[in-house]
Structure 1
Amino acid sequence: MNIDHIVITAPDLDTGAEAVHEALGVAPVQGGKHSLMGTHNRLLSLGPDMYLEVIAVDPDAPDPGRPRWFAMDRFSGPPRLTNWAAQADDMTRALAEAPMGMGELTSLTRGDLSWQMAIPPSGELPFDGVLPMLLSWQGRTAADLLSPSGCRLQRLILTHPRAGDIRTAWPRLAATDRLQIEVGPQPGLAAEIATPEGLKTLSGVIGN
């Protein structure tokens, strides 16, 4: 299991892209739309097999008739790091090893991309949302389609008051490359990213 991408949720795509550009010195590029969820995104390469996703509700899309992923229906405030996704070679095994509530396997497509993703019916992930969405690409990945940006994810730090319980409940997660799980007063995420302008950090307190 490896980090696939990190997620910046924003009130709208332009605001989110501007925030990332200001923080990292590089602008995300156009992504696409997710008709199942009524969202759209922009993307930024973080290396050959990782990327950053800026995501927002698509104002032109109809109501999806279900809770949106990444707990987006209750998102408010400025753009910030809210979620991440991990790529698993064997989704059945990954879900069996993960804590309960990671979601139901759902097949998705966007343009030439196809993937399976575990999506909680409520849109909410366990442990206050700090755990990753699990996915498995079918063929090419989103990272494969992105041009190098000069940015690389160095470390993703997951903080939670019950960090020890997370490690116990999901040992394979704790062994994920570039992931660090720490005790903190509030659930949160921080991504340390090497950029052309030096090391930068994107962060967010989950649910705030």
Structure 2
Amino acid sequence: MKLDHLVWASNSLEDAAAEFERLSGVMAGSGGRHLTIGSRNALASLENEAYLAIDGPDPLQELAANYGAFLANLASPMLWRFAVQTPDLAPARGVLARHGFETSVKPGSRTTSGGRLLEWYTLTVAGHDLDLGMPIIKTWRTDGHPSSEAPGGCRLISLIVSHPRATDLKRLYEELDVPVGVVEHPVASLTAVIEGRFGRFTLPAARRSTRAPKALR
């Protein structure tokens, strides 16, 4: 299990990408569109086959009760989720089952700006109450990791999950072998420290106050 990407969610992809460039000195490259869920993104490599996905609503798709609608209603950019990748989802499903979580495997895809289709499988975890503390667990179905095509110049220094159930989350991460730190805090949030061309900075992360549609958690 290794870190795959961070999701910086925003109500405007252009504005969030401009803010990231101001902080890092790196202009994120076009990622592509998530068809059927109303979003699109821009990517920046974080080294070690990891990347930052800046997500925003896609004006060419319908924004109604989907991820794009959720993004459009955000007041400001926020570090919303993080994803880990594994070559086999079965062990993770077993760990989550032992913790009482019901899971299913869901296919996903994104069409890059160059027209290439990227495909993956993710674990959908039903009815959990860990909010952004629950990682996106995925396995890639297509060759070529997106980080290899994303603009470089940034490196992830640390990712920390603040959470009111830090003890439970630490135990879950240890069993899943998720390489992310956890600290106790009454409000769940993610904090990423990144080193860019202008030095180190903390990616702005609003405290979690907006619920995503159930299908997207």
TM-score, normalised relative to structure 1: 0.85
Deviations 1:35-88 (A, max 9, x none): 131111010011140000010121211357x6439x936852111211111112
Partner letter of residue 165 of structure 1? D
Whole-Å Cα distance in 2 between the matches of residues 118 and 35 of structure 1?
19
Distance in 1, Cα, partners of 2:133 & 2:23 = 22
The Cα of 1:172 is off from its aligned counterpart by 2.9
Shift of 1:171: 2.4
Structure 2 residue aligned with 1:79:
77
Aligned to 1:140: 144
Give the length in aligned residue pairs.
201
Between the aligned partners of 1:62 and 1:104, the Cα distance in structure 2 is: 26
Paired position in structure 2 for 1:176: 178
- Distance in 2, matches of 1:74 and 1:133, equals 21
Contact 2:77 2:204 in 1 (8 A): no
Hey, what's the Cα distance between the residues in 1 that align with 2:100 and 2:19? 34
User: Relative to 1, partners in 2 of residues 1:73 and 1:43: Cα closer, same or farther, differing over 3 Å?
Assistant: closer
- Residue 131 (structure 1) aligned with residue 134 (structure 2): yes
The answer to whether the aligner puts 1:91 opposite 2:89 as a matched pair is yes
Is this contact kept in 2: 1:40–1:56, CA < 8 A?
yes
1:19–1:79 Cα contact (<8 Å) kept: no
1:58–1:9 distance in 2 versus 1, CA, 3 Å: same
Whole-angstrom distance in 1 between the partners of 2:94 and 2:129: 14
What secondary structure sits across from 2:203 in the alignment? Answer: strand
Offset, 1:103: 5.1
Asked if the contact 2:12/2:72 (under 8 Å) is kept, the reply is: no
Q: Return closer, same or farther for 1:9/1:103 CA change in 2, 3 Å cut-off.
A: farther
Which residue number in structure 1 is paired with residue 13 of structure 2? Answer: 13
Distance 1:126-1:76 versus aligned 2 partners, 3 A rule: same
Q: Indicate the residue corresponding to 1:195 in structure 2.
A: 196
**Partners in 2 of 1:74 and 1:125 — Cα distance?**
24
Q: Could you tell me which runs of 5 or more consecutive residues in structure 1 were left unpaired when the two chains were aligned.
A: none
**Where does the alignment leave 5 or more consecutive residues of structure 2 unmatched?**
211-217
* Residues 97, 170 of structure 1: 8 Å contact kept: no
> Is the 1:113–1:141 contact (alpha carbons within 8 Å) kept by the matching residues of 2?
no
Cα deviation digits, residues 75-107 of structure 1 (max 9, x gap): 521112111111122112212213555753222
Match of 1:207 among 209, 212, 216: 209
Q: Percent identity?
A: 25
Tell me: CA distance 1:103–1:67, structure 2 relative to 1, closer, same or farther (3 Å): farther
Query: CA separation in 2, counterparts of 1:180 and 1:81?
Result: 15
User: Which stretch has the larger CA shift, 185-194 or 103-112?
Assistant: 103-112
Whole-Å Cα distance in 2 between the matches of residues 120 and 14 of structure 1? 31
**TM score, norm. by length of structure 2:** 0.81
* CA pair 153-102 structure 1, distance change in 2 beyond 3 A: farther
Change (3 A) 1:51 1:73: closer
| Letter matched to residue 166 of structure 2 | A
